[in-house]
Amino acid sequence: MTLVSIFTAVAVLGLSVAGTPTFDITTDLDMSSPYGTTGQTILGGWPIAEVYHLDIVNRNITPDGFTRQAVLAGGTFPGPLIKGFKGDNFRIHVHNYLTNSTMNKTTTVHWHGIDQHRSNWADGVAMVTQCPISSGQSFLYNFNVHEQTGTYWYHSHLGLQYCDGLRGPLVLYDPHDPHGHLYDYDNETTVITLSDWYHLPAAQIQPPFIPDSILINGLGRIDNTSDPLTVLHVQKGRRYRFRLISMACDPNFTFSIDNHTVTIIEADGENTQALPGIDSIQIWAAQRYSFVLEANQPVDNYWIRALVEAGDTTPPGLAILRYEGADEKDPETNQTTPVNPLSEVNLHPLTDPAAPPFNPDDGDKAIELNVTFNDGLFFVNNVSYASPPVPVLLQILNGSRNPFELLPKGSVYGVPPNKDVEISIPGGVLAPITHPIHLHGHSFSVIRSAGENKTNVINPVRRDVVNIGTTGDNVTIRFRTDNVGPWILHCHIDFHLNTGFAIVMAEDINGTAELVHPSESWDWLCPIYDSLPAIDH
């Protein structure tokens, strides 16, 4: 699309450029958002900036036959697809219209998996990188994605709020995708989100946190009803890149499509060597995979399944894969036992496969995180994380340089710049529960996966969320400290984060003030938040 045709479309439709919530332009790649919340500046056919307005609202929804009020991005569940390209700059205006204090009236938005190089302040973690956005206020997240591509998502990072609905997909397309020859379609219709859903506000749910339903692209069933389900349409003989995102607050899912196998090509924003023949994918909270599905079966309807752990009483998540020409009805296909489920150790990076080298004599740092559970709280190395009264980043910018004095005391770990860090996390706490661990600001090499007793530094998978397994496991990751700022590391079961399962990696404390420059509006978040009565938090 040329600049002339863009402005002609704007004039005809009565839209304004990159400034209103209704601005939407379709590029020649047909990757436009169907939600009408995106504004793009385009030069030579490629976006150079992505401008979004994201309204955070309370609204009633009925995703599984039961109506409840939720916290929603853009008024929908999941929230609108946010998308761009490698190298894009994002300007996302978040407007807080929340009124229900049961699910928090304040909010933040975390852009999960985005490294936020030199923009730590835009990471969206309440009381680590910012104060929350107060009701009636707006905040601009302004960040560049640099060389990142792949599948990501966004969610609230305040209390349990994302369990109540504030979750949505985020995709960074690569115009020169090295896997592009493997598929024919990759657009907003090939994004798949998996979510647990609860009929009570998250703050009122008691352990063991059993979901009432599992939603695929925001729809599910709580019993044998005919409530609408998500339908993914394919044409026989075509190849589709599906982007699978677990937006779970708690459970992991076993995902499969009846009568089909897939080829894995991405894990958590990192291209992997193509791994074909996979017939089921166990995916933990916050993990993502891209897979290629070839529509090579007879024209029909096929169940898409997202199963929760054995013994859970939650009905399975269901959606429909419908071939062009098939009748519009529920599938009659049967579930079969997987013969080639995905194993993390079989995933290898497409490029630069080796893990970072590790040399303690050169200043590289080894950290072991022992996790325990007592009296309703998690403890990491004997300290239960609790949000500090002042964001960690603000403490550093105000002159605090000693990690042992930063709040919350005992939960902040100082790490030097441009060194390699190796973190080992023994499994087994609250077994048989398994915990997905996420590090902000980095992808890491998983040199020892759950279920393994040996390490791999030659070609271990890179990702940003790893399952640490159960008793006897000692999952180990490595990453390079090349991204200044405080970054939270936490269990992505949100109920566990909310009860202390987290630490903060304060990376290059001395260089933070020189390299991280928050916006002027960031400076106002804390004074406004601090002036609120407790009920408005």
Q: Which residues are catalytic?
A: 110, 112, 155, 157, 435, 438, 440, 490-493, 496, 501
Q: Is the peptide bond before 408 cis (omega within 30 degrees of 0)?
A: yes
DSSP 495: H
CB atoms within 10 A of CB 409: 12
Q: If you count them, how many residues does the chain have?
A: 537
Cα 178 to Cα 421: distance, rounded to the nearest angstrom = 29
Cα 421 to Cα 439: distance, rounded to the nearest angstrom = 12
Pair 61, 75: CB distance under 8 Å: no
DSSP 220: -
Cα 339 to Cα 110: distance, rounded to the nearest angstrom = 37
Cα 385 to Cα 387: distance, rounded to the nearest angstrom = 7
> Per the structure block, which two tokens stand in for 436?
């997905």
Cα 442 to Cα 483: distance, rounded to the nearest angstrom = 8
- Residue 100, classified by CB atoms within 10 Å of its CB into exposed (0-12), middle (13-18) or buried (19+), is middle
Q: Which residues pair with 262 in a beta bridge?
A: 278
Using alpha carbons only, how large is the chain's radius of gyration in Å?
22
Sheet with 485-491, edge to edge strand ranges:
412-415, 502-507, 485-491, 436-439, 465-467
What's the one-letter identity of residue 259? N
Q: What does the angle CA 194 – CA 195 – CA 198 come to, to the nearest 5 degrees?
A: 160
> Per the structure block, which two tokens stand in for 227?
């409530």
